[in-house]
Amino acid sequence: MVQEHSRLITRTGGCHCGQVRFEVTAPAHLRVSDCNCSICGKSGYLHLVVPKSDFKLLSGADALINYQFNTGTARHLFCSVCGIKSFYVPRSHPQGYSVNARCLDDVTIADLEIVPFDGKDWEAQFKDGRSETLGD
């Protein structure tokens, strides 16, 4: 029997103004990380990391602005109209996407398990500079 928690759901989400829209497939019960690094801490970003194959950009590719800093691995993608970062390519998982759980259309607190992540002390978290696996 498939547990309710691990059942996969395709959800939609996007930025504030509606230019950027996406679809993401993830478990019904979302395990998201609350990172305290220099950029996530300021915006309150809640990371839902998925493989590239579980993410589909529906619209807004031409509205996205790419912001990079430090190692330049992460591609922070902001909507050029409303300024919201609804998803991006994270340094920890450059082969996947991190979706901002706060930007999902139908998410409720009941769906969220928030795990603190010490992104300020990055090198201690990922000795090789990134995570080897997805979704942890």
- Residues near Zn ion (CB under 5 A): 15, 17, 19, 79, 81-82
Minimum distance, C-beta of residue 29 to Zn ion, in the bound complex (Å): 28
Sheet of strand 87-88: strand arrangement: 87-88, 96-100, 46-51, 30-35, 112-117
Reading the block at residue 119, the tokens are 């992104």
Please identify, using beta-carbon distances, which residue of 21 and 29 lies nearer to Zn ion.
21
Minimum distance, C-beta of residue 123 to Zn ion, in the bound complex (Å): 33
Minimum distance, C-beta of residue 13 to Zn ion, in the bound complex (Å): 12
Q: Are 66 and 87 in contact (CB under 8 A)?
A: no
Q: What does the alpha-carbon distance between residue 115 and residue 98 come to, in Å, rounded to a whole number? A: 14
Please identify, using beta-carbon distances, which residue of 67 and 126 lies nearer to Zn ion.
67
Minimum distance, C-beta of residue 52 to Zn ion, in the bound complex (Å): 22
Please identify, using beta-carbon distances, which residue of 15 and 49 lies nearer to Zn ion.
15
Please identify, using beta-carbon distances, which residue of 19 and 131 lies nearer to Zn ion.
19
In terms of residues, how long is the chain?
136
